[in-house]
């Protein structure tokens, strides 16, 4: 049995992993921010000594992309320094590490889908901090997986899908960026993939290194929003107008990559896991959220 220690159990991905793990990886210990400060090296050592995990999944992170521009020290501490400390603790205690990273390590100028060994060139503080975290993990621990994902949404936490559902209730007209593309990825797929990878890594069936795990298929934020609103209308009857706009018409503190599409073929070849096609998966999440809110 694989003993698994989950860090960041209170986040949207962490909560999904904790919910799914009992049926897949029974030996799970899940720690949220209150249970363990991932920036505290002695506390990390104590946690690994106490729980003796075979694999650690780091699902913790500073994810406020725009706020990171004004809080670079906080983003760097959580996204760059802490992963290095986690990796070093894993090295000392003989554990393997799965660390979640992001499409924002790329600049978005590639024409096709990004593969794992494409050059990184982050555009903003968030991406810079995540890329530094990747390097810190690689430098301190050979037995690691860095798993990049993108456009994450689900029933927990704050995300684009839930924002669109709220705005569709409040407004009759929505404007959504149409010139950025990526792969919407459900938290359930991230969780399923990471749990499968944890077991495969522990059993020696998966080579350490960097992998992508993203929803199957690509779209724009506008296309994603249209699918969300159309599915929600089956529940609510509301169909606000959705207007496509350019990135230049919606300035934000942080620059976003125009192309965030990730190829997940390497992961599929390694362990046979593919995330679901994004559109039916998103429809299912909309159904789950709205069915729950109606009760």
126, 153, 211, 222: the active-site residue:
126
126 is catalytic: yes
The Cα–Cα gap between 54 and 43 comes to: 18
Backbone φ, ψ for residue 10 (5° rounding) = -90, -10
Catalytic residues: 126
């Amino acid at each position: 049995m694989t003993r698994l220690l989950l860090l960041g159990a209170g986040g949207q991905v962490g909560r999904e992993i904790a919910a799914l793990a009992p049926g897949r990886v029974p030996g799970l210990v899940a720690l949220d921010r209150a249970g363990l400060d991932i920036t505290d090296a002695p506390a990390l050592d104590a946690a690994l000594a106490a729980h003796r995990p075979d694999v650690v999944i780091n699902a913790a992170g500073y994810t406020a992309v725009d706020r990171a521009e004004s809080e670079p020290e906080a983003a760097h501490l959580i996204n760059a320094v802490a992963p290095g400390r986690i990796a070093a603790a894993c090295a000392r205690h003989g554990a393997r590490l799965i660390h979640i990273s992001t499409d924002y390590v790329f600049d978005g100028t590639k024409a096709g889908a990004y593969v794992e060994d494409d050059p990184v060139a982050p555009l903003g503080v968030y991406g810079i901090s995540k890329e530094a975290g990747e390097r810190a993990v690689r430098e301190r621990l050979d037995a690691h997986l860095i798993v990049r994902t993108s456009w994450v949404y689900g029933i927990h936490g704050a995300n684009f899908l839930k924002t669109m559902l709220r705005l569709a209730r409040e407004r009759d007209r929505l404007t959504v960026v149409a010139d950025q593309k990526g792969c919407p990825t459900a938290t359930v797929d991230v969780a399923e993939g990471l749990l499968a990878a944890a077991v495969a890594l522990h059993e020696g069936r998966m080579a350490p290194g960097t992998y992508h795990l993203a929803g199957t298929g690509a779209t724009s934020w506008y296309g994603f929003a249209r699918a969300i609103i159309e599915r929600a209308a089956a529940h609510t009857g509301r169909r606000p107008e959705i207007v496509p706009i350019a990135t230049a018409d919606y300035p934000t503190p942080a620059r976003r990559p125009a192309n965030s599409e990730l190829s997940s073929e390497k992961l599929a070849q390694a362990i046979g896991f593919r995330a679901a096609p994004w559109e039916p998966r998103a429809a299912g999440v909309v159904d789950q959220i709205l069915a729950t809110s109606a009760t």
